[in-house]
Structure 1
Amino acid sequence: MLVSYNWLKDYVDLSGTTPEELAEKITRTGIEVESVDPVSEGIKGVVVGYVKECVQHPNADKLNKCQVDLGEETVQIICGAPNVAQGQKVAVATVGAVLPGNFKIKKAKLRGEESNGMICSLQELGYEAKVISKDYSEGIFVFPENVEVGQDAIELLNLHDKILELGLTPNRSDCLSMLGVAYEVAAILGKDVKLPDVPASQATNSTSDYIDIRVDVPEDNPLYVAKIVKNVTIAPSPLWLQNRLMAAGIRPHNNIVDITNYILLEYGQPLHGFDYDRLGSKEILVRRAHEGEKIVTLDDAERTLSADHLVITNGNEPVAVAGVMGGANSEVQPDTKTVLIESALFNSLTVRKGSKDLGLRSEASNRFEKGVDPERVRLAAERAAELMADLAGGEVVEGTVEVDTLKAEPVVIEVTIEKVNRVLGTELTGEEMSQLLDRLKIAHEISEEKLVVTPPTRRGDLLIPEDIIEEIGRLYGYDNLPYTLPRGEFNPGSLTPYQRKRRVTRQILEGTGLYQVLTYSLTSKEKAQKYALETREPITLAMPMSEERSQLRLSVLPGLIEVIQFNQARQNESVAIYEIGSVFLSNGLNELPTEKEHLAGALAGDWMNHAWQGEKKPVDFYVAKGVLDVLFEKLDVASKVEYKPAQIEGMHPGRTAEVSLSGQKLGFVGQLHPSVQKEHDLKDTYVFELDLSLLFNEETKALQYQAIPRFPSITRDIALILDSGVLAGDVKKSILAAGGKLLKEVSVFDVYEGEHMEPGKKSIAFSLKYYDPEKTLTDEEVVKAHDKVLEAVQEQFGASLRGA
C-alpha cells in the first residue's frame, strides 16, 4: 500500500511529525514501512508558464520555438514535444532549476536558436511512466486553465510529497485504504480522525425508475448497492485528484474512472462505473457464469468463464466479472452521459477463484480477496456520487437501489485484564487498557476485571482474545514491554543422532573435495524414475509450472547430471559435487507420499592435476568408491558395507556396483552409461546415490580408544589364483573369519589377469597383518593361523597359492 503523506494530512493532524518519524512509529507498532520515497527528490525552480507563441524551428523539422510567459518575464524556449501548442499552461524549468538526478538547466543554443529553460513532461519531473495519464505519456504536461502563470509548479504537482510504502500482512486489510491508515496513525499519535463529509442518501427511490437489481447467489453477493448520476461530462480529472492517484501508483484516465479509483483508495471499497446507456437493459442480475460463457474485459482480452465465476449481467450477457474487472461493452467512454455506480460486497473466495483462474489481478480483487468493510459499501457509493456531481457536473438521482441479505452478527470478544498482563508481562490497569482501545476506536466495556470488546467492522482481523492482547501490546509499545528471563526447567538443546550424522557427512564430502549443490525437487516425466533406488509410480503435480517440472523426483541424480552438463558446456571440465535432498515415494491417492533423504554425488574430469609436479589423475571408479569408503569409515559402518557388481539402467555394465549395508540395499556407485554420457555431451562421469535413512539409522558402537600395540606385528603376503568371477570382498571376509583373533588387518594390493595366467583365472594379492596386544608372537603361532587362512580359501573358493 502506497500512502501519500500529504493526502494523509486530510484525515489526521500530522504537525510536528516528519514522514520519516511517522514511518518509524508505524513500524514500531507492527506494520512495516518498507520505504519512504519522495515523489521527486531535489527538484527546484519549476513554475507555471504560458505559451504565448509556438512556431516551427527555422532549422529543425521536429523542434518548436516557443515564447513562454513566466509571470515576471517572457523567455524563448526550444521544445521538441509533439503536443506543445500556443495557449497552453505548462511546467517550465527555468534557467538554474534542478530536475531529478541533479540535472541542472542552463542557457543553451539549439540549431542556432537560444533556449532559456525547458518545458517539462511529468517523467522529467520525477513521475514514473506507468502512472502518467496516456494523454501526457509521450509529451509535455499541460495544466488546467485555472492555474496562475508564475505559480510554483512543484506545489501544484505535489512533487514535494513523500510516499510511505506499507508492507501489509494479509490480516491487515483495513490498511488497504487511506481511512484505514488514518485510524492507525491517529491511534499511534493520539489524535482524532477527520472523516469525509458524505451527505445522507435521500429517502425517495427515484433510482428504481432506472434500474432493478436481482441477485441469484446471495451467498456470493450479500450486499449490492447502485446509484445513478446523469448528465455527466467526461473530462480529465482536476489536478489534485490526478496527483493523488499517481502518488498511489494508479494512472489517471478520466474524471469518472478516476473518482472510482479515488474512492477505492480512500475507503478501501472497490467501485465500478457502468455506462448506463450501454448496459442494454434496466436490469442488473448477479449470477454465476455459464460454463464456457465469454466476456471481453476492460483490457480488451476475451475471457472464457466457468460456473465457478461470479458475473454482473444486464439480465442477459455479462458486463463485468464481479470483484475483478468490468467488461468493455459497458465501459465509460468520452460520450457517456449517465453513470451507474456499483458498490457491493462479494465473497472473498469467489473473487479469489475468478481472479486466479482468469489471470487477472486488480486493485479491486486484491481488496475483495482480503475482505472489505460492509459498513462502507453504501458510504462509498454516496461519496462517489457526490464527487461525480462536483467534478463531472452530474446530477445525482435521488435514492439508491440495493439488495441486502447480509446477516452479520457483531463479534464480541472477552478477555480478562489478568490474562492481558500475564501474556504481555505488564502491569497495566483496566483503565490504561481502555485508553489504548479508545485510541484505536474499538468499542469495549470493562466488567468485573474483564474487557468485553466489540471490534468495528473495518477490523475483520480481530476475532479472538489474543487479537485484543496484540492490539493493546503493540499500541502500548513493544519497546515498553519489560525484559524478563524465561522461567521453568529447560533441557539443553542438541542435535539428534540423525542431524549429527548429516552434518558429519557434509563435512566429510566437502573435506574430500566435493562441492554441495541444490537442485529442483521437481523433474520431468522422462527423468522422474531414472536411477530410483525404489521403483514407485512418480507423483504428478496438478498444476505444474512446465512439463520439465511436472513430477516429484524419485532420485537426486538426474539433477546432478544436469549440473555437470551445464558446467562442462561452459568449459568447466572438472566437477565434483554432491547433494543431500529429498525424494518422494508415492503411497497411493489416499495417503501422503513418503519423503526420504538421499545422498547423491557426481564426479567428472580430473580428480588431481598438479602440472608443476607432472601428476594428473582422472576420475575413475575407485575415486568415487574411495569417497564412499571414507564416509563409511567415519560413520563407523565400513565393516558392514559390501560392494557387488550390478546391472543398473543408465549405468556402465562393467563399472557399476551395488552398495549394501548389513545385507540391505543402500545404493549404488559407478560410471554413467556411455550412451547417457553421449546424450548429455559429457566426459566420463562417475556417480553414486545412497539412502541416508538406512545409512544414518544403522546402529553403531560408541567410539572406543585403544592403546598403540607395545609388541611388533608380523605381515604375510599371499597371491591367490582364483576363478575370474570370485569377488575380492568375499575372499577378504573369508580370510578375516579364518585368521582368528590374531589376524587384525587384511588388504588387497594387487589384481592380475592376462599373460601367464590360465583363461578364466585371476591373481589377487592380499597383505595380512598379525599381532597380539599382550605379547610378542612366535613363528609357530603365526604359521598356525596362516595355515587356517590358506585352508579356508582353498576349501571355499578353490584357491591356490600363485607360484606354489
Structure 2
Amino acid sequence: MRISTTWLRDYLKLDIPADELAEKIERTAVEVDGVIRPSEGLKKVVVGHVLECEPHPDSDHLHVCQVDVGEEEPLQIVCGAPNVAAGENVIVALPNSWIGDHTKIKKGKMRGIVSFGMLCALDELGFDEKLVPKEVADGIFILPADAVPGEPVFSYIGMDDEIIDLSITPNRGDMLSMNGTAHELAAIYDQKPTMPTVDLQESATDVAEDDLTVQVDADETDVPTYKMRLIKNVTVKPSPLWLQVRIWNAGMRPINNVVDATNYVLMQYGQPLHAFDYDQLTAGKINVRLAKEGEHLTTLDGEDRELLPTDLLICSDDQPICLAGAMGGLDTEVTDKTTTIALEGAVFDAVRIRKAAHNHDLHSEASMRYERGIDHGMTGTALDAAAAMIAELGDGTVAKGMAVGRDEDVQPVTVAITLSRINHVLGTELTNETVADIFKRLDFPTVVADDTFTVTVPSRRWDIHLPADLIEEVARLYGYDNLPATLPTGQPTIGKLNETQQVIRNSRKLMESAGLTQAISYSLTTAEKAHAFALHASELTNLDFPMSSERTALRLSLVSGLLDDLAYNNARKEHNVALYEEGRVFYSQPEEVRPVEVEHIAGAITGSMVKKSWGVAEQPVDFYQIKGIVASYLKSLALAEEVRYVANSDHAEMHPGRTANIYVGDQLVGFVGEVHPTTAKAYKVRETYVFELDLTALIALPKARQQYQPISKFPSMTRDVAMLIDDNVTNATIVALINQKGGAHLQDVQLFDVYNGSHVPDGKKSLAYTLTYQNQDATLVDEEVTQAFDKVLTALTDELGAEIR
C-alpha cells in the first residue's frame, strides 16, 4: 500500500519528515518497505510552453519546436513525439539536466539541427510504464494550461510528493485505505482526523425495477451485501490531472474518469467497486451466483477463462459478466461510448475471492482487499462517494436510491477487559486514565466501571473482537519501547550440547577426518527414490501439493540423495568423490498422524580416495575400505555390545555378493556395500560403495565405560600362523576363536594373507594371521607366549578343522 503524504495531509496536520513518519508507523503499526521520493535524482526539469512547432526538414516524424522555458529567449528543441503541438505546455529537460535512470541531457544535434534539451514523456522521468495513461503512452505528457513556463515541473505531476510504501500484514486490512491509515496515525499522534464527507446529489427519478434489478442467489456467507447505483448521461473522458496524480502515486494506472473514480474510492475507503456499461446489460438484470461447470468468461485482460464451480459470478440475465472480486468481463467494459453506468458495491467472502484469484492468477488491488477483509459498514458510503464523483467528473446524474440485492445489519463489537489484566499481561502499572486515553485516541467509545473497560469497536477495525486484541492496541500505542524489560529468573546453567547433539557433531568431524565431504540433500524426492535403500519397512509420506514431480515424497534413506550428488559431480568430470550426509529420514505408519523423524548418517564413495601423484597410482575404493571407515566410526561410539557384519542379499539396490548388514548385538543398525550395477546405471554413476547407519538407534544403545589405559613400556612378541581351512568359514569366526583362546596377553589379531590359487585344494583357502602378545606389567618370556599360542593352534584344528601349515 503506497501512502501519499500529500493525501494524508487532507486528513491530519502532519508537519513531520516522511522518514520520521515511516519510522513511527513501523514501530507502532505495520512494516514499512521504504519512502519513495519520485523527484529524487532529477534536476533542471521545468515547464515549457511550445510557441512554434514545425516539421523537421530532414525527417518525416521529427519536429523542430521553439519552447518558452521562462528565459529571455525560447529554446529550440527537436522532438519526435506525435502529440507535440504549438500552444501546449510540456515537460522540458534543460541542457545539463538529469532525468530518469540517471540520464544526463546535453545539447546535441538531430539530423543536423541543434536541440537544446528534450521534451519528456512520463516514463522518461522514471515513471513505471504500467502507470502512464494510455492516451500519452506513445508521446509526451501535456501539462495543464495554467502551468507556468520555467517553474519546476514536479508539483504539477505529483513528483514532489513523498510516498510511504507500507507492507500490510493480513490482520491489518483496515490500513489498505487512506481512511484506515489516517485513523491509525490520528491515534499515534493524538489528533482528530478530518474524514471525507459525501455530497451526493440525486435526481428526482428513482431507480425503477425496470431500470435495474438485483438478485443474489449465492449464500449469505458468500455475499452478505450487494448494492448498485445508476449514473446516467455520463461523458467518459480522461480524468483531471489531480485525480491522475493521486491514482498513479498510489501505484495504479489512470484509465478514464469513471474507472479512476472507482479506484480513488477504493484507495480512500478500502472498498472495491466495479462499474458496468449499463447498456450492455440484458434489460438491466443482475444476479449473483456460483459458476457452473464448463462456463467461460472473457475478462478485461482479453483472456478467455474457464470458470470453476467455486467461483462467484456477477451475471446479467444469468450470463456471466464479471468474476466477483477479481476482474470484470470484457463485454460490459466502460468505454468512450458508455453513457450510463451501473455501479456495484458489495462484500464477498474472503475465501471465495482468494481461491478465485489463485486459480485464475488474477491478483488485483480489489482481490487483495477482499482477501484481508473490508469494512462491512462502509459499503454504502463508498458506493455513494464513487457515484457522486462519477457524476461530477462525467457531467452525469445519479438516479435516486439504490438497487439492493442483499443488505447486512452491521453492528459494532463490544469487548470488555480489566485494567489488572492489561497490566498483568504487559508487566506495566498503567492507570485507568492512561488506558482510557488510548481508547479515546483510537476513537473507540469506552465505558469505565471500576477497573473494567467496556469498549465498543467500530466496524472499521474488524480485526478486534477479543480482550487480547485490546491489550495489543494498548501496547502498540503506549509504545513497545516503554514496556518494562526484565531478565528471566531461575538457576543459571552452563550452555552445552546434549548427548545427541555432541554425537552428531563428532560424527561430522570423524567422517571428514576419514576423507569424506559433507553433502546436504533434499528431504523431498520421488516415490521410487524414497523407497530405495530403506533400512526399515515403512509407508511413504506423500505431499498433497508438491512443488514438482521430483519432490513428491519424504525420503526413507539418505543414500539415494548422495547418489544424485555423485551423478551431479560425475556429469562434470569429477570421478573421485567421497561424500557423507547426516540428516533425518521419515518413517510413516498407518496409525500415526505425523511421520517419525529418525537421524541417519550415510556415505557414498566412487573412484579413488588416494590422489594420483608421482610414484603413486590411484587405488579404486573397495568394500574393505568403506567397511574400515564404518568400523572406525562405530569404534568411536564405544558400543558395549559386539559389532557384527553379516553378508546379505535382500537389499534390491545393493550388490548381492558385496553387501553386509551391520548388527550391534542382535539389533540391525545399518548396511554397507557396493551399489548394484543396475542401480548405479540408473543413477548414472560408476562403481560406488555406500553405507547407511541408524544414528538414533546407535545413540540409544548402551555404551562401554571408557577408561584410560597407559601404553605398556614392555616389548611385544608376535607369532604367525598359516592354515588351510574350508571356504565357508569366515574371517570373523576365526578371529573370534583366536581372541577366545589366545590368553590374557593377546593384544591384536591381523589377517595378512589370503590365497586361493594353485596348490590349494578345491573348497579350501589359505589364510595367514599375525598374533601380537604384550604384558602391561612385565616382559613376556618365550615359553609363556608359546604356551598360549599352542592353545590357539589346537582350537583352530579341533573346532574349525584347520590344517596348520
Q: TM-score, normalised by structure 1?
A: 0.92
Q: Hey, what's the Cα distance between the residues in 2 that align with 1:207 and 1:135? A: 34
Which amino acid in the other structure matches residue 396 of structure 1?
Answer: V
What residue in structure 1 maps to residue 672 of structure 2? 669
Contact 1:40 1:100 survives alignment (8 Å): no
Residue 652 in 1 paired to residue 651 in 2? Answer: no
Mapped to 2, the partners of 1:589 and 1:26 lie a distance apart of 49
Could you tell me which of 734, 737, 762 is aligned with 2:737?
734
Q: Please give the alpha-carbon distance, in whole angstroms, between the structure 1 residues aligned to 2:387 and 2:309.
A: 33
Q: Which residue is 1:723 aligned to?
A: 726
Please give the residue correspondences for 1:609-620 in structure 2 after superposition, counting only pairs within 5 Å: 609=611, 611=613, 614=616, 616-620=618-622
Q: Distance in 2 between matches of 1:253 and 1:192?
A: 34
Note the 1:120-131 alignment, pairs <5 A: 120-131=120-131
In 1, the alpha carbon distance for the partners of 2:642 and 2:444 equals 69
| Equivalent residue, structure 2, for 1:564 | 566
Corresponding residue number in structure 1 for 2:42: 43
Q: Shift of the alpha carbon at 1:633?
A: 2.1
The alignment's TM-score, normalised by the length of structure 2, stands at 0.92
Which of 667, 682, 689 aligns to 2:685? It is 682
Q: Do the aligned residues in 2 keep the contact of 1:154 with 1:160 (CA within 8 Å)?
A: yes
- The yes-or-no answer on 1:694 pairing with 2:697 is yes
Q: Distance in 1 between matches of 2:420 and 2:107?
A: 73
Report the more deviating stretch, 193-202 or 501-510. Answer: 193-202
Asked if structure 2 preserves the Cα contact closer than 8 Å seen for 1:41 and 1:100, the reply is: no
Identity of aligned residues (%): 44
Q: SS in structure 2 opposite 1:171?
A: helix
Asked whether the equivalents of residues 498 and 697 of structure 1 are also in contact (C-alpha less than 8 Å), the reply is no
Once the 2 structures are TM-superposed, how far is the Cα of residue 590 of structure 1 from its aligned partner? 7.5
Paired residue secondary structure (2:300): coil
Amino acid at match of 1:104: K
How far apart are the structure 1 equivalents of 2:208 and 2:744?
Answer: 105
> Is the 8 Å Cα contact of residues 205 and 401 (structure 1) preserved in structure 2?
no
Read off the aligned partner of 2:510 and give its amino acid letter: I
CA spacing shift, 1:654–1:452, aligned 2, 3 Å: same
2:123 is paired with a residue whose SS is coil
Deviation at 1:593, TM superposition (A): 3.2
1:771–1:190 CA distance, 2 compared to 1 (3 A)? same
Alignment deviations for residues 253-283 of structure 1 (CA, whole Å, 9 cap, x no partner): 2222222222222211111111111122322
1:361–1:725 distance in 2 versus 1, CA, 3 Å = farther
Is the contact made by 1:47 and 1:153 (CA closer than 8 Å) also made in structure 2?
yes
- 8 Å CA contact 2:411, 2:459 repeated in 1: no
Q: Report the CA distance between 1:714 and its aligned residue.
A: 3.7
Q: 2:297 aligns with which of 290, 295, 298?
A: 295
Task: Give, in angstroms, the shift of residue 388 of structure 1.
Answer: 0.8
Question: Cα distance 1:52–1:502, how it changes in 2: closer, same or farther (>3 A)?
Answer: same
Cross-structure match for 1:597: 599
2:132 matched to which residue of 1?
132
Q: Structure 1 280/466 Cα, relative in aligned 2: closer, same or farther at 3 Å?
A: same
Shift of 1:773: 4.0
Does 1:376 pair with 2:378? yes
How many angstroms does 1:583 deviate by? Answer: 2.8
Residue deviations 1:448-491, cap 9 Å, x none? Answer: 21222222222222232222222211221122222222234566
Name the CA shift for 1:10/1:608 in 2 (closer, same or farther; >3 Å): farther
Match in the other structure for 1:232: 234
Q: CA deviation at 1:774?
A: 5.1
State how far apart, in whole Å, the 2-side matches of 1:167 and 1:332 are: 32
Partner SS state of residue 3, structure 1: strand
Match of 2:475 in 1: 473
Greater displacement, 112-121 / 58-67: 58-67
Q: Which amino acid aligns with 1:192?
A: K
Q: Does residue 641 in structure 1 map to residue 646 in structure 2?
A: no
Q: CA deviation at 1:563?
A: 2.0
Distance apart, 1:222 and its partner CA: 0.8
CA deviation after TM superposition for structure 1 residue 765, in Å: 3.3
Within-5 A mapping of 1:274-289? 274-289=276-291
Distance 1:553 1:155, change over 3 A: same
The verdict on how the C-alpha distance between 1:202 and 1:775 changes in structure 2, with shifts beyond 3 A counting, is farther
Structure 2 residue matching 1:340: 3-state secondary structure: strand
After TM superposition, list the pairs within 5 Å mapping 1:162-311 onto structure 2: 162-199=162-199, 206-209=206-209, 210-216=211-217, 217-311=219-313
SS in 1 for 2:287: strand
Q: Name which of 448, 451, 463 aligns with 1:449.
A: 451
Structure 2 distance, partners of 1:130, 1:740, is 90
Q: Deviations over 1:153-186 (max 9, x none)?
A: 2111111223222222221111112222222222
CA change 1:358–1:106 in 2 (3 A) is closer
CA distance in 2, matches of 1:528, 1:760: 41
- 2:83 & 2:625 partners in 1: Cα distance? 74
Measure, in 2, the Cα distance between the counterparts of 1:670 and 1:447: 78
CA displacement 1:721-740 (0-9 Å, x = unmatched): 33334332333233333335
Partner of 1:153: 153
Deviates more, 1:139-148 or 1:409-418: 139-148
1:756 & 1:162 partners in 2: Cα distance? 97
Residue 348 of structure 1 is matched in structure 2 by 350
Matching of residue 319 in structure 1 with residue 321 in structure 2 = yes
Match of 2:748 among 745, 749, 764: 745
Q: Alpha carbons of 1:530 and 1:375: their partners in 2 closer, same or farther (altered >3 Å)?
A: same
The alignment of Structure 1 onto Structure 2 pairs a total of residues equal to 801
Check the 8 A contact 1:201/1:399 in 2, yes or no.
no
The unaligned stretches of length 5 or more in structure 1 are none
Paired AA for residue 379 in structure 2: V
For 1:57, the equivalent position in structure 2 comes to 56
What is the letter of the counterpart of residue 573 of structure 2?
Q
Question: 2:340 is matched with which residue?
Answer: 338
Partner of 1:4: 4
Whole-angstrom distance in 2 between the partners of 1:512 and 1:85? 81
Match of 2:26?
27
Residue in structure 2 matched with residue 110 of structure 1 by the alignment? 110
How far apart, CA to CA, are the structure 1 residues paired with 2:446 and 2:335? 48
My pick for the range that moved more, 160-169 or 78-87, is 78-87
C-alpha distance 323-785 of structure 1, shift in aligned 2 (>3 A): farther
- SS of the residue corresponding to residue 609 of structure 1 reads coil
The structure 1 residue matched to 2:369, chosen from 356, 367, 370, is 367
Q: What are the within-5 Å matches in structure 2 for residues 457-536 of structure 1?
A: 457-488=459-490, 494-536=496-538
**C-alpha deviation, 1:652, in angstroms:** 3.5
Moved more, 113-122 or 151-160: 151-160
| Alpha carbons 1:602, 1:687 under 8 Å: kept | yes
Residue type matched to 1:507 in 2?
K
**Paired amino acid for 1:27:** E
Equivalent residue of 2:214, what SS?
strand
**Aligned twin of 2:583:** 581
Contact 2:640 2:704 in 1 (8 A): no
Cα 1:704–1:229, aligned 2, differ >3 Å: closer, same or farther? farther
Task: Classify 1:71/1:686 alpha carbon distance in 2 versus 1 (closer, same or farther; 3 Å).
Answer: same
Change (3 A) 1:512 1:9: farther
Give, in whole Å, the separation in 1 of the partners of 2:526 and 2:634: 32
630 and 461 in structure 1: CA distance in 2 versus 1, 3 angstrom threshold:
farther
Q: Which moved more, 1:218-227 or 1:397-406?
A: 397-406
Seen in structure 2, the aligned counterparts of structure 1 residues 479 and 779 have a Cα distance that, compared at 3 Å, is same
CA distance in 2 between counterparts of 1:582 and 1:334 reads: 64
Q: Which moved more, 1:120-129 or 1:581-590?
A: 581-590
CA distance in 1 between partners of 2:321 and 2:781 (Å): 104
Matched residue type, 1:504: N
How far did residue 115 of structure 1 move?
Answer: 0.2
